[in-house]
Amino acid sequence: MGKWLVVYSSVTGNTRQVAQAMADAAEDAELFSVDAVPEDLTAYEVVLAGYWLRRGGPDPKMTRFLPKVRGKEVVFFQTHGALPGSEHAVTAFARAALLLGEGCSILGTFSCQGKINPMLIEKRKKAGPDDPHANSAENAARWAAAAAHPDEADLAAAAAFVKALYRKRMLRARFAEKRS
């Protein structure tokens, strides 16, 4: 199996932590911040792209990086204040996929709740009543829950997810071999 690239964008450290857990679990991976990722991606078979959510999609730095990924198997991982299976989180994966360069296939997705930037919470507290993210009992509870993530269980789940990806690729290769 070829080399994997784990690239991430992080402001609060959430996505960086998940990226590190994934890189540590991988058999042969290199870890880079999106600010330091190599221009030439030919050495990598699989690209794991991690980002925080902004306005329902990947953050601006990852939005600029994803079109440069071409002809690769791609794994998306994201951190956000919403619940991992929420519509917000699921839709963000679709938005990320639309940004990829030609010839890519999605190998998997991993979503993790993460603490919200305190500056954003302060801004939300001052938002008007028409803003769905404004200060409310429901949003305050979500912000408090998100503040505890990523936790050890989240990081262990990220590592297990990477191990499962290796198994998925191995089984897929066996199946393709039998068909030919």
User: Could you read off the pLDDT of 71-126 as tens digits, one per residue?
Assistant: 999 999 999 887 778 888 899 999 999 999 999 999 999 999 888 877 777 777 77
- Of the two residues 6 and 132, the one the predictor is more confident about is 6
Helix locations, 5-117, DSSP H: 14-25, 60-65, 87-99
Pairing of strands 105-113, 73-80: parallel
End-to-end CA distance of the chain: give it in Å, rounded. Answer: 20
User: How many CB atoms neighbour CB 139 within 10 A?
Assistant: 19
Could you tell me the two tokens for 70?
């071409």
pLDDT at residue 79, as a whole number: 93
Say what the pTM is. Answer: 0.88
Q: How confident is the model at residue 43 (pLDDT cuts 50, 70, 90)?
A: very high
Question: Which alpha helices (H) appear in 26-151, and where do they start and end?
Answer: 60-65, 87-99, 118-125, 137-146
C-beta separation of 19 from 51 below 8 A: no
Instruction: State the average pLDDT for the chain.
Output: 90
Q: Flag whether pLDDT at 12 surpasses 90.
A: no
Retrieve residue 48's tokens: 């794991």
Angle at 87 between CA 85 and CA 89, to 5 degrees: 60
What is the token pair recorded at 85? 């299976």
Q: Which residues contact 87 (CB under 8 A, 6 or more apart)?
A: none
Confidence of residue 1 (pLDDT cuts 50, 70, 90): low
Closest C-alpha to 49, from 10, 11, 85: 10
Considering only residues 17 and 141, tell me which one the structure prediction assigns the higher pLDDT.
17
86 three-class SS: coil
Share of the chain above pLDDT 70, in %: 99
Return the SS3 of 142: helix
